[in-house]
Amino acid sequence: MSRGSEKTDESPKWMNFRSLLVFSMFLRVFLIIYGEWQDAHMEVRYTDVDYMVFSDAASLMASGESPYKRTTYRYSPLLAFILIPNSIIHRSWGKFLFSASDLLVGWFIHKILKQRNVPEKICTYSVMVWLFNPFTFTIGTRGNCEPLVCAMVLWIIISLMKGNLSQAAFWYGLVVHFRVYPIIYALPIILVLDSQIFRSGQKPPLEDWNTGKAKTTTSNTEKKPLHFNLLTALKSLFSRERIMFALISGGVFLACNAISFYFYGHEFLHEALLYHLTRTDPRHNFSIYFYHIYLHYERQFSAVEKLISFLPQFTVQFALVFCFYQDLVFCIFLQTVAFVAFNKVITAQYFVWFYCLLPLILPWSRMKLKWEGLLCIIIWIGAQTHWLLWGYMLEFKGVNVFLKLWMASLLFLAANTFVLVKIIQRHQFSPLFRRFRSLSPKM
Amino acid sequence: MATQRQSSVISLIFIYCAISSTSSSQQCSDKIDQNIVPAISSLLQHRRNITGEGSHRNLITSIKLLLQSESQFNELVIVERLPLGVFADPFELQSLQQRKVFSDVSVFGDTNLELPSFRSNRSVVEIHVDMSSRDYEHGEISLKLPLHARYQPLHDSGYSRVEFGEPDLFLCSSHLPNQGHEQRRCLVLSIGGLKTEAISVFWDIPAGIRDHTEYVSAFTFAAAVLSAFSILVVSVLSSKVESCKNSKQS
């Protein structure tokens, strides 16, 4: 989405945001109805197996039992609670809910970009990257709950942009209870809550798209070095805004866990929280660690081995945060891609976590679709496809291709690294917020 | 990978076992009811086979059983003791039951679908088939039990062999609920544990190779470190470049 090729808003009328949203809505409704037909008439089901797990857990909860009696239900009881209507109204209730969240993500993307004065045409293209991504519109209609998490994450960004810290903190505590992985956003959010940016009763000034374009000539924004200043951070570490955010989000997180523990005890703790923190799966998945874990599964890993395997993830997360936290949306996008790439277990549904953030960084990317963008897409999808071919040979043909499958996962990590590096190199750094003291342009 | 086994068993006299089902107890009588035996004497053929490819296959059990029309024994019960390396998905079997493939089905034992075989225990699947409602030619019923492979213990050859024993087969009378003291009668057609034939059905499942351990671990960590280092260098350099640009512009 290079600024160099930007034209005035001359997109066709059919391509306005409202019509795209309406079309997307009808597409999702159609897919949900089609999914019901396929489930009833074909051996291969359209519905995700996870949706059956959620529905069974919701049904157990509706009968007054623990949702954790359903094996492999490893989510917050909140998810089962909101799916109780599956047993009362219709089994597709959850799919409609997740697809509505999916559309909400599209709306939030548009809202965030408009708040930063991104031209309408670029906004529309960015939204289309989410709404018409085949992966995203099938994931909600198949009954996967990730669009709900994505909507919450984007709402947190919107709340921060409005200066509504309490609201952002509330939803942050809730989303971490719901899905754990957003805990990685804690540090950049805390760092960006600068008292020079967030002041009581005032909406924080946003760095908009046009200002970023003007930065190549004059700049009235951040004059400080963009890399992390340790001394300054230490001085303002315990600002009122940071303490408030931490207390509210932490309080909400603990309250949700306490209520869940009250009703479901250790089952909740183990299945919904500890399982995700300690999960190692020897079964084949995209992660480079799967075969290493399988070969060592007959014996337990030592604490040192676990720590060593966590170091690359830890290092990358900290590097990305300290280099890019001011450009908050870009930072959390990079963190999410890296988190998934270096995780011990990678399944395709995790990709949605960064798909929803990708449209938010595209307007600031100097990468052109032809041909650099296409190259990145081809390399990333190609590496996935390569892995899937070996996975098919193992799982559906019963051929021992463990070594080749593991090599394919190494290749997938290389592809992720390549794409990440390219995105960083082509990004026009633009802090999300401006400091109050630098608002007046120099004459 | 799979072998086909065919055996013929001719049973003229059956062990008659009356099973009384109440809410709290079961009794077994060894009284032979002469009215029952002629009604169910039949030629019993029993075939076993594993079909399909990969980690998801079907255990086919074909039973040839001729019943007299007035026979009260119209439910076939198969008790399948699964070996350690495979499992049956209870929810998949439930959906088969809902589609009337089986009249009833239950899984007992280890139903954890995710554990490898060396961390799991065995399971037993009990299948009920209502023979009066099934169409079968020449008295043959074919049952397909979907099974899934667990991750196997490491093996030098790269494959681990899982062998299936014989199922227990029963022929039972109709289940009559809500009639106070319920009486169900079952005939034991075959007990799997008593079979002594050497040929069995087996499934070779891919397994990790222990010799791979060292270099897989080494290259895995090397790849992780290299990728992390690349991202670290590019991040620091990019942020420094942006910093220099802004310093020059201001």
Rg for chain B (alpha carbons), in Å?
28
pLDDT above 90 for B19? no
Is residue B134 classed as helix, strand or coil in its secondary structure? Answer: coil
What is the 8-class DSSP label of residue A47?
S
Examine the pLDDT at B212 and tell me if it is beyond 80.
yes
Q: Which residues of B touch A288 (CB under 8 A)?
A: 220, 223-224
Which stretch of DSSP H or E encloses residue A225?
Answer: none
Min Cα separation B45/chain A (Å): 30
Percent residues over pLDDT 90 in chain B: 33
Q: Is the pLDDT of residue A279 over 90?
A: no
B135 touches chain A (CB under 8 A): no
So what's the pLDDT on residue B240? 81
Task: Report in angstroms the alpha-carbon separations of B223 from A57, A341, A406, A412, B94.
Answer: 39, 12, 12, 11, 44
Kindly give the pairing relationship between strand B26-29 and strand B16-21.
antiparallel
pLDDT tier, B17 (very low <50, low <70, confident <90, very high otherwise) = very low
Report the C-alpha gap between B82 and B76 in whole angstroms: 19
Task: Please tell me the predicted confidence (pLDDT) of residue A151.
Answer: 97
**Across all residues in chain B, what is the average pLDDT?**
74
Rg (CA), chain A: 23
Mean pLDDT (whole number) for B93-122: 84
Find chain A residues with C-beta within 8 A of B152's C-beta.
none
Q: Where residue B250 falls among pLDDT bands split at 50, 70, 90? A: low
| Interfacial B residues in 15-34 facing A (CB < 8 Å) | none
CA distance A416 to chain B (A): 9
What's the mean pLDDT in A136-156?
95
Contact between B231 and A227 using a beta-carbon 8 Å cutoff: no
A68-82, A367-381, A424-438, range with the lowest pLDDT: A424-438
The neighbour count for residue B141, using CB atoms within 10 Å, is 17
User: Cβ contacts of residue A60 below 8 Å, gap of 6+?
Assistant: A66, A67, A69, A70, A80
Average the pLDDT over B42-49 and give the result.
Answer: 67
Q: Taking the mean position of all CA atoms in its chain, how far away is CA A121?
A: 24
- Asked if residue A324 lies in contact with residue A364, where contact means CB atoms within 8 angstroms, the answer is no
Predicted local distance difference test score (pLDDT) of residue B173: 80
| Candidate from A282, A308, A338 with C-beta closest to B231 | A338
Paired tokens of B175 = 């289940």
Helix (H) or strand (E) holding B12: none
Contact B142, B60 (CB under 8 A): yes
Helix axis angle for A134-141 and A17-41, nearest 10°, is 50
Q: What is the pLDDT of residue A250?
A: 96
The answer on pLDDT for B199 being more than 80 is no
Mean pLDDT across chain A, nearest whole number? 87
Q: What percent of chain A has pLDDT over 70?
A: 88
Residue-wise pLDDT for A108-134, tens only, equals 999 999 999 999 999 999 999 999 999
Residue A401 in tokens = 């291709």
Q: Is A214 helix (H, G, I), strand (E, B) or coil?
A: helix
| Residue B41 binned pLDDT confidence (cut-offs 50, 70, 90) | very low
- Is the pLDDT reported for residue B16 higher than 70? no
Q: Which residues does chain A have within 8 Å of residue B113's beta carbon, measured at their own beta carbons?
A: 71-72
Distance CA A70, CA A57 (A): 6
Of the candidates A141, A99, A111, A154, the residue with the CA atom closest to the CA atom of residue A17: A111
Which residues are B10's β-sheet partners? B43
Three-state DSSP class for residue A345: coil
User: For residue B109, what is the enclosing H or E element?
Assistant: strand B104-109
Per-residue model confidence as pLDDT tens digits over A13-23? 556 888 999 99
The answer to whether the CB atoms of B230 and A338 lie below 8 A apart is: no
Q: Quick check: A159 and A171 in contact, CB under 8 A?
A: yes
A361 contact residues in B (CB cutoff 8 A): none
B222 touches A: beta carbon within 8 Å: no
CA A42-A45-A50 angle, 5° bins: 165
Most confidently predicted of A263-272, A406-415, B83-92: A406-415
Task: State the pLDDT confidence band at A42, using cuts at 50, 70 and 90.
Answer: confident
B233 touches chain A (CB under 8 A): no
Model confidence at B172, pLDDT cuts 50, 70, 90, reads confident
- Inter-CA distances, B145 with B82, B94, B96, B125, Å: 11, 12, 10, 9
Which of A226, A292, A298 has the CB atom closest to B242's CB atom? A226
The full DSSP string for B164-205 is E-PPEEEEEEPP-TTSSS-EEEEEEEE-GGG---S--EEEEE
Residue A340 has pLDDT above 80, yes or no: yes
Q: What is the dihedral of CA A311, A317, A318, A319, to 10 degrees?
A: 100
Structure confidence at residue A418 (pLDDT): 97
Q: In this complex, which of A219, A308, A312 lies closest to B249 when CB atoms are compared? A: A219
> How far does the CA of residue A170 sit from the closest CA of chain B (Å)?
31
Rounded Cα distance between A333 and A340, Å, is 11
Residue A440 is inside which H or E element, if any? Answer: none
Q: What's the CA gap between A401 and B51, in Å, rounded?
A: 21
pLDDT tens, A161-209? Answer: 999 999 999 999 999 999 989 999 999 999 999 877 776 667 787 887 7
Which residues of chain B have a CB within 8 Å of the CB of A405? none
- Rounded to two decimals, the ipTM of the complex is 0.87
CB A177 within 8 A of CB A256: yes
Work out the angle between the directed axes of helices A402-425 and A374-397 (0-180°, nearest 10): 160
Look at residues A396, A426, A393, A397 and name the one whose alpha carbon lies nearest to residue A407.
Answer: A393
Q: List, in sequence order, the alpha helices (H) in A204-239.
A: 209-214, 230-235
**For residue B38, is pLDDT > 60?**
no
Cβ A205 vs Cβ A436: under 8 Å:
yes
Residue A158, amino acid:
I
pLDDT digit string (tens) for A217-245? Answer: 333 344 444 555 677 666 667 888 899 99
Q: Which two three-digit tokens encode residue A337?
A: 């891609």
| Local structure of residue A201 (DSSP, 8 states) | T
Closest CA to A75 of A347, A267, A253, A352: A267
In A132-229, alpha helices (H): 134-141, 146-162, 165-179, 186-192, 209-214
Q: Report the distance separating Cα A106 and Cα A426, nearest Å.
A: 24
CA separation for the pair A181, A430 (Å, rounded): 25
Single out the residue of B141, B122, B129, B127 nearest to residue B81, CA to CA.
Answer: B122
How far is C-alpha A350 from the geometric centre of its chain's CA atoms?
Answer: 8
Tokens of A288: 């480079």
**How high is the pLDDT of residue B186?**
81
Higher pLDDT, B116 or A399: A399
pLDDT at B13 > cutoff 90: no
Residue A341 burial by Cβ neighbours in a 10 Å radius (0-12, 13-18, 19+): buried
Q: Is residue B221 within 8 angstroms of chain A, CB to CB? A: yes
- Residue A413 touches chain B, beta carbons under 8 Å: yes
Mean pLDDT of B34-55: 66
Least CB-CB distance to A421: which of B55, B210, B231?
B231
Placement of tokens 């529905």 in the chain: A55
Query: Other CB atoms closer than 10 Å to residue A243's CB: what's the count?
Result: 13
- Return the pLDDT at A85: 94
B54 close to A (CB below 8 A): yes
Q: Which residues of B touch A313 (CB under 8 A)?
A: 228
Mean pLDDT of B227-237: 95
The kind and range of the H/E element at B80 are strand B73-82
Residues in chain A with CB shorter than 8 Å from the CB of B250 are 219, 223
* Cα torsion A382, A388, A389, A391: sign: positive
Chain B residues in contact with A408 (beta carbon < 8 A): none
pLDDT for res B68: 63
> Would you give the DSSP letter of residue B135?
-
Cβ–Cβ gap A394/B206 under 8 Å: yes
3-state secondary structure of B238: helix
**According to the model, what pLDDT value does residue A244 have?**
92
To the nearest 10 degrees (0 to 180), the angle between helices A120-131 and A17-41 is 10
Res. B248: pLDDT tops 70:
no
| Residue in B215, B242, B248 to test binding to A, most A beta-carbons within 10 Å | B242
Q: Answer whether A39's CB lies under 8 Å from A47's CB.
A: yes
CB proximity under 8 Å: A 78-137 to B? none
What is residue B241's predicted lDDT score, i.e. its pLDDT? 76
Q: In this structure, are residues A99 and A297 in contact, taking their beta carbons and an 8 Å threshold?
A: no
| DSSP tag of B248 | H
Whether A10 has a pLDDT exceeding 70, the answer reads no
